[in-house]
Amino acid sequence: MQFNSTREQVAFLARRATWGLAPGELDVLESLGVTATIDRLVDPSSAGLGEEASAWADWNFVYDRSDRKARRQQDMEAFERWMGRLLSTERPLDHQLAWFWHDHFAVSMQVVRHLPAMLGHLDLCWSLGRGDVRALIRQVTTDAAMLVFLDGATSKGTAPNENFGRELLELYTVGVGNFTEADVKAAAAALTGWVVRRRDGWKVRFVPARHDDTPQTLLGVDGVHDADTTIAAATSSPACPVFLASKLGRYLLGDIDDATVLALAATFSNADLDISALARATLGAGVGGAATPTVLAPLPWLLQAIKATGAHVSTAELANTLRSMGQLPGSPPNVGGYPGAATWLASSATAARFSAAIDVARATPDEAPALAAARAGDWPGLADLFMRPAGFSNATMTALEDLKPSVSARPGEGALALALASPDLLIA
């Protein structure tokens, strides 16, 4: 993707690295320029932005598995705090990276079924998600939610469970083709012995009697025998920075070429596997032309729509819409994470997007700039509010022009819905 102006470049950064912009925010980023915008995203503290606590830091709740009603309310409050944070944060890239790692590890609430453990896992993805990737992967390895999600909690030395050991290598660190079945068995053996005390607040304990401490050879590294040495071996493989740079690169930039991946991997290695350094280099490559158009998943599509319109969408409506579109936060469908672009173009997602667009337009307040632009037929202005300063495609422009004002009872609402549903806003 090539850009014709600073405004197009910072709009690109906003589409990929934030959760949307409110009216006027694109002007601010344009005045900062590309370099300062990347600085502000990657290192918000040095840009003078305040520190953030966890989205659930000030929330004390008593979790009682037997109180179903209370659990439902707590699940809902957790969702509300999470989405509220994404919509209000001044550190959007922190949360994009947290989401990336949540997607990467793919721990699902549907499997874990324990809210505090799930929130603990999401906090790891957020708090460690922009530092040394080895620390993140090491902590996640013996995190209660992960131990339950991939059965580490029931894996013992006499007959190791290979579930986590396999996915650690295939999905979390080096990727398919870069390990053998013997490596899977070695990792599985070295990672035995961790348990989750479900009757004691899901505390994680290491039980030596359940552990196989026999030295293993993992990815050519001898003497691997526990969680620390397993993660050290997996992350010291030359395949690891390439695999992770490729994955983050594709998340932020789309379908990038091998040369870009290798350059980003080299940067990542040279920065001692610091995720922020990788993110900075990746965004820089994107504004430099390495990116390709991507299909937005339902969550970023919907939050971008809400930010730009200021639509008043209740927590329940937000959850329902995301569910109907096929991406409820906290519930990746399988260990591969949320599905990819083609899924969001399939029939179910397309129909759901149309309905969701109408809901967002209906919830947009009368005074919103987006509604005013739609009412006035200011299509370039409307596209700009949605971080597309280059405007809508010809087909969408024609469809907007041809739309009869009577299509909605409230002036502008129909055109706003059409813009939101258009293919243009699905593509970032």
Partner 1 sequence: MPISRRAFLGGAAGAAAAGGGAWAALLRDSLEAAAPTVRPSPTTTRAPVTTTTTAAADAVASSSARLPVTERVLVVLEMDGGNDALNTLVPAVGRYHDARPKIGLSDGQLVTLTGVEYGLHPALASLTPFWEAGTMSAIAGVAMPQQSRSHFTAKDAWWSGVGGSPSQTGWLGRWLDLSLDAERNGVDDPLRAIALGGGSPALVGAQTTATAIRDPAAFTLATGPGVDEGGLVEAFLATASALNAEPTLAAAQQAIPGTLDAVALLAAAADSDNLSAYENPTPGAGRTAVDLLSTAANIIAMGIGTRVLTVGVRGFDTHADQVENHQALLQDLASGLASFFTALEASGDLDRVMVITTSEFGRQIAENGSAGTDHGEGGLQFIFGPTVAGGIVHGGYDLGAVDDGGVPPVVDTRSVYRSALEWLGGPGGADGVFEEDPAVLGLLTA
Residues 408-427 that bind partner 1 (CB under 8 A): 408-410, 413-414, 417-418, 421-424, 426-427
Selected binder of partner 1 within 231, 352, 374, 385 (CB under 8 A): 352
We find the least distance from the C-beta atom of residue 11 to partner 1, in angstroms, to be 16
**Shortest distance, CB of residue 5 to partner 1, whole angstroms?**
18
- How many of the other CB atoms lie within 10 Å of CB of 31? 12
> Half-sphere exposure of residue 257, counting CA atoms within 13 Å on the CB side?
6
CB 299 within 8 A of CB 322: yes
- Residues 241 to 300 in contact with partner 1, rule: CB under 8 A: 292-295
Among 22, 47, 221, 403, binds partner 1 (CB under 8 A): 403
- List 340, 365, 366, 376, residue binding partner 1 (CB under 8 A): 340
Instruction: Report the distance separating Cα 160 and Cα 158, nearest Å.
Output: 6
* Residue type at position 201: G
Q: Closer to partner 1 by CB, 43 or 77: give it.
A: 77
Site string for partner 1, 110-139 (x = CB under 8 A): x-----------------------------
Exposed/middle/buried for residue 282 (C-beta within 10 Å: 0-12, 13-18, 19+): buried
Task: Establish if 407 lies at the interface with partner 1 (CB under 8 A).
Answer: yes
Q: Which residues from 85-114 bind partner 1, rule CB under 8 A?
A: 109-110
In sequence order, the β-bridge partners of residue 203 are 197
Q: Which residues contact 271 (CB under 8 A, 6 or more apart)?
A: 277, 278
Number of residues that bind partner 1 (CB under 8 A): 93
Q: DSSP of 319-357, one letter per residue?
A: HHHHHHHT--TT--SSTT-S--HHHHTSHHHHHHHHHHH
Which of residues 311, 335, 382, 383 is near partner 1 by CB under 8 A? Answer: 335
Of 328, 360, 374, 382, the residue at the interface with partner 1 (CB under 8 A) is 328
Distance CA 168, CA 112 (A): 18
Q: Which is nearer to partner 1, 131 or 156 (CB)?
A: 156
Minimum gap (Å) between residue 202 Cβ and partner 1: 16
Local structure of 194: helix, strand or coil: strand
Rounded to whole angstroms, how far apart are CA atoms 150 and 187? 13
Position among 28, 49, 64, 72 found at the interface with partner 1 (CB under 8 A): 72
Part in contact with partner 1 (CB under 8 A); list of ranges 93-101, 220-228, 257-265, 319-327? 319-327
Piece of 220-228, 265-273, 304-312, 400-408 that binds partner 1 (CB under 8 A): 400-408
Which of 137, 142, 82 has the alpha carbon at shortest distance from 115?
Answer: 82
φ/ψ region of 185 (left if φ > 0, alpha if ψ in -120 to 50, else beta) reads alpha
Q: Which of 257, 323, 365, 376 binds partner 1 (CB under 8 A)?
A: 323
Among 238, 288, 336, 365, which residue sits at the site for partner 1 (rule: CB under 8 A)? 336
**Contact residue for partner 1 among 105, 344, 379, 386 (CB under 8 A):** 344
Give least dist CB 75 to partner 1, A.
Answer: 4
Q: Which amino acid is at 386?
A: F
Tell which one of 50, 199, 342, 367 touches partner 1 (CB under 8 A). 342
Instruction: Return the residue matching tokens 């922190």.
Output: 94
Single out the segment in contact with partner 1 by CB under 8 A; choices: 56-64, 87-95, 281-289, 315-323: 315-323
Identify whether the C-beta of residue 252 lies closer than 8 Å to the C-beta of residue 278. no
Q: How far is the CB of 335 from partner 1 (least distance, A)?
A: 7
Please identify which residue in 8, 87, 331, 391 interacts with partner 1, judged by CB under 8 A: 331
Closest approach, Cβ 228 to partner 1, in A, equals 22
**Residues between 188 and 217 with contacts to partner 1, criterion CB under 8 A:** 192
Task: Among 315, 380, 381, 411, indicate the residue that binds partner 1 (CB under 8 A).
Answer: 315
419 alpha carbon, distance to own chain's centre = 25
Residues 11-70 that bind partner 1 (CB under 8 A): 68
Q: What angle do CA 104, 108, 109 make, to 5 degrees?
A: 145
Show the DSSP H helices in 18-88 as ranges. 25-32, 34-42, 68-88
Contact 280, 46 (CB under 8 A): no
> x/- string (CB under 8 A) for partner 1, residues 151-190?
x--xxxxxxxxxx--x---x-----x----x--x------
Helix (H, G, I), strand (E, B) or coil at 110: helix
CA distance linking residue 137 with residue 275, whole number of Å: 12
